[in-house]
């Protein structure tokens, strides 16, 4: 396998884009990535698209072909990937594999989602799973995990609320973030209850948006005269689905992290920043632990000591994370890659992590038998 570099990235602001179609959002992100890379459409040899909800919401399939055609890319292999919240990061992994194998020298990946509809209402997805039929929707699942974690480690709801406070502060520094206003612990706790102990401000919003990246062989990156951002590892794992589950731990994360660190020949001590799947406040605390940044039960200590805040030892979710930046499902994993690249180039503005050389991105998606269906971890580094 040869080295693969990210040579260009681009994305739209996340939020509600009432006036834009799904393919409009994808076009904006792809044009930005192509321009950033200095690559013209005819140089792209393969395309990969992550999208989770278009068939359910827009009744649209073959999203990648439609988006890439908008920027003049056609007559190449295009693969559309649906893998729940890991759709975009799974598409990124496929693009990486296609270049690492030597099959292609230049590939484009886009993650795109439009969740806003004029009709509003609850998304009618996931109802094929027994848990969903019985009412174990995602907020309920994560609330149960939060209750267990609080019980196991003698914590309080305000401890979890600190995650939302931190990530909303980070989001206030990010012009691409859906929410750009800081909040307090009191505001988090007093917002409407969704599933005890998770309030509205403890939960991620659904968002519209798109993000894109251009991947190329290292030789091509050198010819393009780009700062070398290498994909040190790109890992995809699925759940074990073995009950009874440990409700304050994700073995899926542990396995994916172990594979990623071994592939990259790095460890958590080498990571300068992490963008993780903080879909609920409890999630980020568990990610601290299952990704190896602290021992079980010590996530809150890490948070209270501000080691995961901008300026801390390992800043987490400096983009604002899903809680503030937003969660356009199929786009999220690629948006994390874009943030990582900006950070490693020193282009992140007010939220820039000092001397960032290694970044980790992480997504999780879907639910089955109390476990998650998929997890991806990407590690990027600058030479």
Which pLDDT value is given to residue 244? 59
Using the 3D structure, point to which of 229, 264, 297 is the last residue of a domain: 229
Q: Residues 175-218: pLDDT tens digits?
A: 999 999 999 999 999 999 999 999 999 999 989 999 999 999 99
Based on the domain organization, do 238 and 329 belong to the same domain? yes
Residue at 359 is within a domain: yes
Based on the domain organization, do 162 and 26 belong to the same domain? no
- Token digits for 267? 């460890």
- ∠ CA 259-263-264 to the nearest 5 degrees? 120
Active site residue 277: no
Q: Residues 239-296: pLDDT tens digits?
A: 888 765 677 778 899 999 999 999 999 999 999 999 999 999 999 999 999 999 999 9
Q: Residues 42-92: pLDDT tens digits?
A: 999 999 999 999 998 888 999 999 999 999 999 999 999 999 999 999 999
Residue at 308 is within a domain: yes
Task: Note down the domain range covering 100.
Answer: 4-117+207-229
Residue at 122 is within a domain: no
The number of folded domains in the chain is 2
Which of 30, 49, 85, 331 does the annotation list as catalytic?
85
Based on the domain organization, do 152 and 261 belong to the same domain? yes
Active site residue 85: yes
Higher per-residue confidence, 123 vs 144: 144
Four-residue CA torsion sign, 305, 307, 312, 315:
negative
Which pLDDT value is given to residue 125? 64
| Residue 28: CATH number of its domain | 3.40.47.10
Based on the domain organization, do 174 and 312 belong to the same domain? yes
- Alpha-carbon distances of 344 from 4, 37, 91, 145, 156, rounded to whole Å: 15, 15, 21, 33, 36
pTM (2 d.p.): 0.96
Provide φ and ψ at 341, rounded to 5°: -65, -45
Which of 17, 277, 287, 327 does the annotation list as catalytic?
327
Residue at 124 is within a domain: no
Based on the domain organization, do 254 and 350 belong to the same domain? yes
Using the 3D structure, point to which of 229, 262, 287 is the last residue of a domain: 229
Is the predicted pLDDT of residue 136 greater than 80, yes or no? no
């Amino acid at each position: 396998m040869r080295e693969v570099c990210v040579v260009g990235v681009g994305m739209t602001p996340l939020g509600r884009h009432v006036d834009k179609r799904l393919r409009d959002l994808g076009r904006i992100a792809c044009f930005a990535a192509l321009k950033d890379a200095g690559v013209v459409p005819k140089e792209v040899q393969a395309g990969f698209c992550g999208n989770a909800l278009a068939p359910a919401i827009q009744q649209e399939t073959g999203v990648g072909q439609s988006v890439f055609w908008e920027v003049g890319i056609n007559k190449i292999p295009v693969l559309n990937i649906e893998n729940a919240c890991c759709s975009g990061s799974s598409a990124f992994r496929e693009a990486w594999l296609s270049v690492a194998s030597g099959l292609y020298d230049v590939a484009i990946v886009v993650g795109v989602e439009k969740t806003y509809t004029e009709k509003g209402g609850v998304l009618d997805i996931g109802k094929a799973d027994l848990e969903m039929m019985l009412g174990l929707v995602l907020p309920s699942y994560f609330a149960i995990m939060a209750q267990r974690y609080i019980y196991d480690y003698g914590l309080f709801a305000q401890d979890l609320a600190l995650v939302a406070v931190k990530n909303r502060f980070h989001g206030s520094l990010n012009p691409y973030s859906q929410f750009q206003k800081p909040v307090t612990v009191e505001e988090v706790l007093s917002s409407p209850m969704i599933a005890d102990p998770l309030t509205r401000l403890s939960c991620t919003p659904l968002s519209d948006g798109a993000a894109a990246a251009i991947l190329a062989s290292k030789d091509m990156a050198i010819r393009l005269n780009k700062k070398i951002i290498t994909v040190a590892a790109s890992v995809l794992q699925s759940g074990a689905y073995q009950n009874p589950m440990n409700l304050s731990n994700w073995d899926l994360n542990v396995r994916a992290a172990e594979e990623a660190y071994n592939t990259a020949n790095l460890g958590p001590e080498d990571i300068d920043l992490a963008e993780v799947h903080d879909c609920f406040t409890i999630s980020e605390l568990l990610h601290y632990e299952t990704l190896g940044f602290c021992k079980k039960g010590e996530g809150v200590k890490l948070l209270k000591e501000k080691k995961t805040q901008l300026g801390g030892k390992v800043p987490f979710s400096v983009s604002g994370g899903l809680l503030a930046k937003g969660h356009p499902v199929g786009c999220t994993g690629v948006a994390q890659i874009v943030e990582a690249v900006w950070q490693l180039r020193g282009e992140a503005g007010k939220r820039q992590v000092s001397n960032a050389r290694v970044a980790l991105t992480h997504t999780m998606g879907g639910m089955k038998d109390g476990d998650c269906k998929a997890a991806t971890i990407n590690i990027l580094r600058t030479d």
